[in-house]
Amino acid sequence: MKKIDIKEKYYDLHIIKTEKFKTVRMKIDLRTNAQRETNAYMSLLQNILTVSTKYKSLKERNIICADLYDPMWSIRSVDSGSKKCLSLAATFTNEKYTEKGMNEKTIKYVLDFLFNPKTVDNHFDKEIFENEKTNCLEYLKSLKDNPDAYSNYRLMGNMQIYDFKPLTIEDYIKQTEEITEESLYRFYQNLLKNSKMDIFISGDIDENQIKEILEKLIKRNSNIETLTSHYIDQKEYNESPKIIKEKTNNTQSKLAMGLKAVNLTETEKKYTLLLYSWILGRGTNSLLFDDVREKHSLCYYIYSNAKPLEGIINIYAGIDCDKFEKVHELIKENMKKIEEGNFSDEKIKSVKNTYNNSLINIEDSLISITENLESQIFIKSDDLETRKTEIEKITKKDIQNVAKKVHIDTIFLLEGGQNGA
């Protein structure tokens, strides 16, 4: 594989040339600083851009798509630590296996969804806007019907991660209700003008051809040269964890715990926190699975999920509500075990093997290859060989040191009946 970085006037272009695949992967990222006011706008905008096109009907759009050999594409709003990112991703058949000119036609087709939505007098089409706004509001208002998603929203809505006040579900609903087709269009225009744009293209391609295609199709008025780090440095936590309990008609209770990792070093952010989380609660070989589920039979499931960019770890469990206190205590005990080094070297070896196995598979997928380059550009992650080397350097003592920096900050319990099903 060959990597090429080209700094254009209005965006940065990153190319990976590889002859291994018959498809081309394209990803366009518009990055801006995360702000409290923009979350609802980004969520609604991703939906609008997905359906707001110049085509007169879905049938017409599908015919054009079929003529282009059915490219797969999506537009998503993504949280990336201290940044909010609107991403257009597409995978399509390389013209080397179809006919000449198809790369440009396909790229234009996909780009139109991001850059040429259907508008009327400087606002989004009213009918499309109202339909998608209704869909967003219905989703938010129906979250209680999805206990896992609801519990996560409630946890994050009570946990101070960013430098602005956390957003509750009620805040999301209120913000969404206040958005108009005019205000969303102004937000969209501002995002295009004032965001950092990076374009990633991977496949068996001619970089000069791709450069010419993009120069022809993408017009911007400005470009942000650099952004601050995506990593959020957590400095404070609730020494007495905030505990929120809420009743539900469901039989099973949902426990969501937010842990903060404070004052991490660069190596701890990139590597050690992940190993700590995997030893604590990732998979069937973790301490929490062994102790809380297998030994004491106190939960239906339990796992942890590290978010190094945010400096947090979340723990999720399905329990009976009368088991909450015991589960809470066992989680604290197992966190203490790691801090004191009461876990086997075999567990360290196991999670390192898992980590290395995940790296091996990256080069077998064009999507993974592109995302790996994306992480190198955005968060300064190391290349694959360096990552393999660095993960092996992490010692038991390093993991213990991180354990001393991890603290339970916020707990949300969605209380069901006494006996789950």
- Map residue 178 onto helix, strand or coil: helix
The whole-number pLDDT of residue 420 equals 47
Residue 410 contacts residue 316 (beta carbons within 8 Å):
no
The whole-number pLDDT of residue 223 equals 65
Please, what is the average pLDDT of the chain? 94
The whole-number pLDDT of residue 421 equals 43
Average pLDDT in the 162-171 region?
95
| Predicted confidence (pLDDT) at residue 419 exceeds the cutoff of 60 | no
Average pLDDT in the 175-193 region?
95
What share of the chain has pLDDT > 70, as a percent? 99
Q: Which domains does the chain have, with CATH numbers?
A: 2-217 (3.30.830.10), 242-415 (3.30.830.10)
The whole-number pLDDT of residue 9 equals 81
Residue 326 contacts residue 276 (beta carbons within 8 Å):
no
Residue 314 contacts residue 257 (beta carbons within 8 Å):
yes
Tell me the pLDDT tens digit for each residue of 352-397: 999 999 999 899 999 999 999 999 999 999 999 999 999 999 999 9
Tell me the pLDDT tens digit for each residue of 308-351: 999 999 999 999 999 999 999 999 999 999 999 999 999 999 99
Nearest-angstrom CA–CA distance, 137 and 124: 18
- Binned at pLDDT 50, 70 and 90, residue 7 comes out as confident
The whole-number pLDDT of residue 57 equals 80
Nearest-angstrom CA–CA distance, 195 and 197: 6
Tell me the pLDDT tens digit for each residue of 88-122: 999 999 999 999 999 999 999 999 999 999 898 88
| Predicted confidence (pLDDT) at residue 307 exceeds the cutoff of 90 | yes
Q: What is the DSSP letter of 285?
A: T
| Predicted confidence (pLDDT) at residue 269 exceeds the cutoff of 70 | yes
* Share in percent of the chain as helix, strand, coil (round to 5): 50, 25, 30
Please give the C-alpha separations between residue 186 and each of 123, 313, 336, in angstroms, as whole numbers. 8, 36, 50
Report the predicted TM-score, pTM, of the whole model to 2 decimal places.
0.93
What share of the chain has pLDDT > 90, as a percent? 87
One-letter identity of residue 181: E
